[in-house]
A and B are shown apart, each in its own frame.
Chain A
Amino acid sequence: MQTIKKIFQIIFFSALVHSGFAQEQKGNLLIRNGNVITVTKGNLEATDILIKEGKITRIGKNIQAPQDYRVLDATGLFVMPGIIDAHSHAGIDAINEATTPVSAEVNVGDVLNPFQVSLYRALAGGVTTIHAMHGSANAIGGQCETIKLRYGVKDPEALRMEGAPRTIKFALGENPTRVHGGGGIVPRTRMGVEFVIRQAFSQAQEYNTLWEEYNQQKQQKGFRGTPPPYSTRLETLSDILKGDIIIHCHSYRADELQMMLKVCKDFGIKNIVFQHVNEGFKVAPELAEYGAMASVFSDWWAYKLEVYYSTAYNAAILTKNGVTTSINSDDGELMRHLYHEAAKTQKYGGLSENEALALITINPAKQLGIDKRVGSIEISKEADLAVFKNHPLSIYTVPMFTIVDGVVRFDREKDPDDMRMYIDPKLAVDEGYSDGAKHHADNCMGDTGKNSMRLFEQNLDEK
């Protein structure tokens, strides 16, 4: 009896501790006298921002900090909304469930890892929210997770941006055709990719009809039938058809973009964001008309044939044609200087400062369906902010503070050499030199290799 009581106590307490950890920390903070770039409501010189319990409550001059508020002097510094990366593979322990062309049933939200130092490195580049994505091995990939960079929390749950809309990865072109077609499974061609997607949606429609019929019949007295078989995959796909999940579709070529637009139209799908979309500039009017959005690299090209006909002017052409566009990283290194990547659109296509900054703030927020909460500096929005030494679009700028939910998560002046949170007791002190330039651990084709050595040593240019 005593033992059972003890067990109950342990369960009770551990549940308590668990819920304590899972709770997000929310800060009270006054940022004083900064050059505030709101992105949506202009620039404000020498302005204060008051943050209460993680939300922006006041923006103005001479705001007094209530007691116990942390005060951050931003005199001479630039304060902008925290940067949002609409395409990342950081913070997750697996990227591709590459075993089947349709893997809508899996969710990277199940493999969140708050210990990855890449999250801190992104924070040190002013990033506050990332879209942790499934990879591009499958025509219909897994579900993705929008997370906040609350580096320091140890509970994976505490990384989630609660209430952010569900998203899912799709992939067109060379990656899905190589992974599956190369192994003798459809798709091997772009024709096959279209077929796989149409087939999956058609099956989801049938599934939906079966369940609707069953649910109707169930209402009738004396109904004795059995329910149709339950499928997590088809549930997910039918949620896409119902408009409950935003598709984020890895794509490059203009032809496959048009194909996907037609598929969406035929199945009544409105929420679609194209990822990478290097040839988006060729079909910008079509994308704009449909309301499809685009999340692009600033200048990456030539890493494979389907990105050979790219242009660094892509973001500018898309923007000027009315497509809601963002600049993403898909890479643990690029993620650290998205402000610089955005600045390149001033060079390539002459976007204004505000248009350039929108590419990494409010626009990715729209693409993730979180623009009511983050992506600009406005009263009642969540206090995710990045503070820079110079104007964030200048090459000479340095991120100084990064704030998530009013909590300062990065402070350049208090930045120890080793920011790892968890040191494996069995790990040798010298973990060895790894060449950051020659592989990217977090990219779209991660986990598709036969073993991890192949993955990390040779998986070079597979965006």
Chain B
Amino acid sequence: MKILKYLLCFFLLGYGLAVQAQIPKAKSGTFALTNASIETITNGIITNGTVIITGGKISALGSDAKIPEGAEIIDCSGLWIYPGMIDSGSRLGLFEFGQASQASDVSELGDVVPQMRAITAVNPNSVSIPLTRVSGVTTALTVPEGSLFSGTASLINLHGYTPDQMYAGFDAVVLNYPRTGRRGQFDRRTDEEIQKTADKEIARLNEVWEKATQYHKLDSATKGKMQYYPEMQALLPVVRGTMTLMIDVNASKDIESALKWVAGKKIKKVVFSGVAEGWRVADAIASARIPVLTGPVLNLPARQYDAYDKAYANAGLMKKAGVKVAIKTDSRTMNNRNLPYNAGFAAAYGMGREEALKAITIVPAEIFGVDDKLGSVEQGKSATLVVCDGDLLETKTQVKHVFIDGWQMPMVSRQTLLYEEFLNRNPGLTKEK
């Protein structure tokens, strides 16, 4: 009888473990990733190297890094280590699926709503988040969309149970720069109508900015005793140059207009996003020293008469002109996991592999001011890493491990679970007992 009881206990314990094994969780601790090729991004390639992860950071790396006692050793023979990729344009956490307003928190009402903060609406349990990180994209800028000042974007790491745990230390007020030109061949407005609309929209932008500068002066004069004025309060750090203004702008004329506007208003921290026609005015962007977050690379040319590969070549052409270029997916179909392929196409169409790789790692980290933590494999930086079996940009490459801030991610997403369940479905055609 006693034996039976023991057996039962044993069985239940085993059962409990089995259930637990089916719900994989992230794991923290001390890790030693050994025998790897390490593409550091900032300091070349280390062959047969080791990365030590302690307390969420890269505590040591190199071919002679000492393995601390008690470290979990992960043999990375034949594998490559890269920094986690950063997608500098996404809807991650804000958007679940399309064609249902209830499933999207991307766009708030109003044309001047910088006080709408993406980070407050990020759903840490969105299905897209594990799906994106198991492909090695560990960090993403999540961006509210809309008209004019559509909100405040936030950088998030793709791991955590609350938005606070995910927050990666960067925010930017989003300005969707007025589209001053014709909007494609189906735009049948006359030139006068287009000009009139453009003038009106620019006037609106100037009016808002003027108000924000006045608010800043009054706020300084009253030592912060101004009455509640949420949108102006949200613009304050941008006016004061402590927060970045992210200007979404694409057509070449609009880019030129935006460059003039930024110079005229003497705005200190500016980054351009989109910049689909940057190649047409690359020199001007370069001399203004405004960095860009461009993408998607896998996109059509913006005009019928443009060469078929202009969107593929855009990032490389801007880089060649001296612009600081980060690449983003800006995916509408929640395929932020395709970031390495956007970089790969840019690489193949003129940017070169090395620069393309930087454009999804160290360059966005620098633009967001988080390069002390992210963007390269360096001692002291956050252990936000990808371990894969080949070139990170190559399509067939399999990602084997992902670490975010030293946490080892479970390598599952709903899409991998469906694969495991349905590859050899049971029951198959007939349901035998």
Contacts and interface: CB of A to CB of B under 8 A. Distances in A.
A205 interface: no
B98 A304 contact: yes
A117 interface: yes
A284 B424 CA distance: 9
Q: Which of A344, A349, A435 has the most CB of B within 10 A?
A: A435
Interface string B275-299: 0110000000000000000001011
A355 B135 CA distance: 22
B19 interface: no
Interface string A334-357: 001100100110111100000000
B422 A433 contact: no
Nearest to A343: B395
A299 B334 CA distance: 10
Nearest to B393: A395
Chain B contact patch, size range = 35 or more
A395 B308 contact: no
Contact of A430 (B182, B344, B416): B182
Interface in B242-259: 250-252, 254
A348 B423 CA distance: 12
B308 A419 contact: yes
A33 interface: no
A229 to B, nearest CB: 40
Contact of A343 (B396, B414, B425): B396
Chain A contact patch, size range = 35 or more
Interface in B107-153: 127-128
B55 to A, nearest CB: 33
A311 B415 contact: yes
A340 B307 CA distance: 20
A395 B348 contact: yes
B179 A313 contact: no
B184 A437 contact: no
Interface in B178-205: 179, 181-187, 191
Contacts of A308: 96-97, 127
A293 B31 CA distance: 47
B185 A431 contact: yes
Contacts of A299: 335, 337-338
B77 interface: no
Contacts of B296: 437
Contacts of A309: 414, 418
Contacts of A343: 395-396
B333 interface: yes
A395 B183 contact: no
Given A281-B418, A432-B181, A333 B396 contact: no
B309 interface: yes
Interface string B296-311: 1011111111111101
B93 to A, nearest CB: 13
A119 to B, nearest CB: 11
Contact of B311 (A284, A300, A349, A436): A436
B1 interface: no
A395 B184 contact: no
B100 interface: yes
Interface in A385-402: 393-398
B300 A428 contact: no
Q: Which of B179, B302, B353 has the most CB of A within 10 A?
A: B302
B264 interface: no
A332 B298 CA distance: 11
A433 B185 contact: no
A434 interface: yes
Contacts of B40: none
Interface in A21-38: none
B422 A317 contact: yes
A328 B309 CA distance: 20
Contact of B307 (A301, A348, A415, A431): A415
A276 to B, nearest CB: 13
Interface string A311-333: 11100110010000000000011
A433 B332 contact: no
A453 interface: yes
Given A300-B333, A305-B100, A438-B332, A394 B395 contact: yes
B87 interface: no
Interface stretch (A132-140, A152-160, A358-366, A454-462): A454-462
Contacts of A262: none
A207 interface: no
Interface in A160-181: 174
A303 B98 contact: yes
Contacts of B306: 417-418
A313 B308 contact: no
A462 B332 CA distance: 11
Contact of B186 (A286, A436, A453): A453
A257 to B, nearest CB: 13
Interface string A38-51: 00000000000000
Contact of B334 (A302, A332, A436): A302
B398 to A, nearest CB: 6
Given A394-B395, A432-B185, A304 B97 contact: yes
A456 B127 CA distance: 30
Contact of B300 (A121, A313, A394): A121
Given A286-B429, A305-B97, A433-B251, A396 B344 contact: yes
B345 interface: yes
A285 interface: yes
A333 B97 contact: no
B16 interface: no
Given A395-B341, A438-B332, A432 B183 contact: yes
Given A415-B308, A433-B184, A333 B299 contact: yes
A348 B418 CA distance: 12
21 contacts: A117-B304, A124-B309, A281-B418, A284-B422, A308-B96, A311-B414, A311-B415, A343-B395, A347-B396, A347-B397, A348-B415, A395-B391, A430-B181, A430-B182, A432-B303, A434-B186, A435-B276, A435-B302, A436-B301, A437-B330, A456-B184
Interface of A: 117, 120-121, 124, 174, 281-282, 284-286, 289, 299-305, 307-313, 316-317, 320, 332-333, 336-337, 340, 343-344, 346-349, 393-398, 415-420, 427-428, 430-438, 452-453, 456-457, 460-462
Given A289-B429, A348-B419, A432-B183, 17 more contacts: A174-B99, A282-B422, A285-B429, A299-B337, A307-B97, A311-B414, A333-B298, A333-B300, A347-B397, A432-B303, A433-B184, A433-B251, A433-B302, A434-B302, A437-B276, A437-B299, A437-B330
